[in-house]
């Protein structure tokens, strides 16, 4: 008989709806696993009493909610404000910060009747693509605990991959959902720009970042996107609403599509690992076998876009408000990026935003004839913990991150939805993702295509050691 954690998030929600399992039973099951099995650096803060109280209070409400994830446990990334719960932003400078308000992500999860077990691990201010903060142990992939879970949603991915929660929210400003999804053998979806509200902080003035789901299956990701999506009063921009639910899009055939593909790295000169090449080639053949036309195309973003992105990234890092008396607690990479951001004056920042939007427009124009785009997710399988981090030379640290993730940030620049799918494992058992992107606001089509791929090459039954 299957254990509760063997079931998908949607299957667990169905059990709650049929009153075969209570929200409290699910919360207890996952809290016990988190307490016993979190050797992967998944959580910064566990909130067992709060979770049990919340789950108990939901016991008689299942029939009043239409969310298929009602009563299902989850966790909230430690970048997201959660009223009354320590929220460190991955930084020792905020190790004792407890916000008085919750942000849109937290409020949306609560409104759907989900139960948060705590805060998932993230690097300082979500900047690096590895998760090795000073406030928690490194987040590692359960497929090999000597290797990174990726970042910045490394804790969320480690939690889902190790079966500590069935589904979790992450955020993605340059690949921070898709990178850990690839490292941990999961589905990671970065939705279209404006799909999920950044209320109330609106901290990303450039439009690179968004929240999104991390899960074991495409359908679970779609269900969590239904929970998170939607605009709030005051949003500066928003994606048009879907024709139905995102979950229902997974049940529609996408039809024959034209899919562009390229493998040349966008933001770094780096040799692509043979396993990542093989995953991309195998995915291309799978898509063709499903009736799609796969076409080789040139890289749609020029290398000149890279320094423009880096200016915007550095300025966003510099905008992090840290009390003067705690500046010394910041990581070397954060101090280096912040210093670079403070050297950019207002007109230079404005020009960089304008240039980035022009590069995005050119890329969208170049890809307009295609329904989707296929690339690898990462240039290598997950690397050893500490392999990218270089406290003595932050510039080398940043360069290593670009070489690890030479494609993901392209779709943050364009605002396109993008998803990493776990379609390949190395001979040593390490997961390797491939990435599909779609036109802006065509999240439904992307999910329909991803669900078709999953049906043809299912992966959910594959679990890591210790599951």
Q: What is the pLDDT of residues 335-355, one digit of tens each?
A: 999 999 999 999 999 999 999
Q: Read off the pTM.
A: 0.98
> What pLDDT, on a 0 to 100 scale, did the predictor assign at position 76?
98
How is residue 424 written in tokens? 């390949």
153 classed as catalytic: no
Residue among 17, 42, 20 at smallest CA distance from 31: 42
Q: Tell me the three-class secondary structure of 110-132, residue by residue.
A: HHCCCEEEEEECCCHHHCCCCCC
Which residues of the chain, if any, have pLDDT below 70?
1
What confidence score (pLDDT) does residue 280 get?
Answer: 98
Strand locations in 127-252 (E):
167-172, 187-190, 210-215
Q: What is the pLDDT of residues 210-221, one digit of tens each?
A: 999 999 999 999
Residue tagged active-site, from 102, 176, 182, 338 = 176
- Residue 182 is a catalytic residue: no
What architecture is the 4-456 domain classified under in CATH? Answer: Alpha-Beta Complex (3.90)
Set 102, 116, 127, 152: catalytic member: 152
Rounded CA-CA distance 123/78 in Å is 9
Helix, strand, or coil (residue 196) = strand
How do strand 167-172 and strand 187-190 relate by DSSP bridges?
unpaired
119 included as an active-site residue: no
Nearest to 69 by CA among 268, 290, 245: 245
Query: What is the structure's pLDDT at 1?
Result: 57
Give the single-character DSSP code of 40: S
* The CA-based dihedral angle spanning residues 214, 218, 220, 226, taken in that order and rounded to the nearest 10 degrees: 90
- Of the candidates 22, 77, 119, 448, the residue annotated as catalytic is 77
* pLDDT at residue 61, as a whole number: 83
Q: Cα(183)–Cα(150) distance, rounded to whole angstroms? A: 6
pLDDT for position 205: 87
């Amino acid at each position: 008989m299957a254990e509760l954690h063997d079931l998908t998030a949607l299957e667990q929600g169905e059990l709650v709806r049929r009153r075969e399992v209570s929200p409290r039973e699910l919360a207890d099951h996952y809290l016990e696993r988190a307490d016993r099995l979190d050797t992967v650096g998944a959580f910064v803060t566990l909130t067992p009493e709060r979770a049990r109280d919340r789950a108990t209070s939901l016991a008689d409400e299942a029939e009043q909610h239409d969310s298929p994830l009602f009563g299902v446990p989850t966790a909230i990334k430690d970048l997201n404000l959660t009223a009354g719960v320590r929220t460190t932003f991955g930084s020792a400078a905020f190790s004792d910060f407890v916000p008085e308000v919750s942000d849109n992500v937290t409020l949306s999860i609560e409104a759907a009747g989900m139960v948060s077990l705590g805060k998932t691990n993230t690097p300082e201010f979500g900047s690096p693509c590895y998760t090795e903060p000073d406030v928690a142990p490194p987040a590692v992939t359960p497929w090999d605990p000597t290797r990174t879970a990726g970042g910045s949603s490394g804790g969320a991915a480690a939690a889902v991959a190790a079966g500590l929660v069935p589904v979790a929210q992450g955020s993605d400003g340059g690949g921070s959902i898709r990178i850990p999804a690839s490292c941990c053998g999961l589905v990671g979806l970065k939705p279209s720009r404006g799909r999920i509200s950044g209320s109330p902080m609106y901290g990303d003035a450039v439009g690179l970042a968004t929240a999104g789901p991390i899960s074991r299956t495409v359908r679970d990701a779609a269900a969590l996107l239904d929970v998170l999506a939607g605009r709030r009063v005051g949003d500066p921009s928003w994606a048009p609403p879907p024709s139905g639910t995102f979950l229902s899009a997974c049940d529609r055939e996408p039809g024959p599509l034209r899919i562009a593909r390229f493998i040349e790295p966008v933001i770094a000169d780096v040799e692509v690992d043979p396993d990542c090449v093989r995953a991309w080639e195998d995915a291309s053949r799978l898509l063709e076998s499903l009736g799609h036309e796969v076409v080789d195309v040139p890289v749609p973003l020029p290398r000149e876009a890279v320094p423009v992105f880096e200016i915007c990234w550095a300025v966003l890092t510099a905008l992090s408000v840290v009390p003067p008396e705690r500046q010394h607690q910041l990581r070397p990479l954060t101090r280096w990026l912040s210093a670079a951001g403070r050297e950019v004056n207002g007109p230079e920042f404005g020009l960089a935003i304008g240039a980035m939007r022009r590069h995005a427009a050119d890329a969208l124009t170049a890809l307009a004839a295609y329904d989707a785009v296929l690339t690898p997710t990462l240039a290598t399988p997950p690397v050893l913990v500490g392999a990218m981090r270089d406290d003595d030379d932050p510039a080398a640290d940043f360069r290593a991150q670009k070489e690890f993730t030479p494609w993901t940030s392209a779709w943050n620049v364009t605002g396109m939805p993008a998803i990493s799918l776990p379609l390949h494992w190395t001979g040593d058992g390490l997961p390797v993702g491939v990435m599909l992107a779609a036109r802006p606001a065509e999240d439904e089509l992307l999910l329909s295509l991803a669900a078709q791929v999953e049906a043809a090459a299912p992966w959910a039954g594959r679990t890591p050691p210790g599951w």
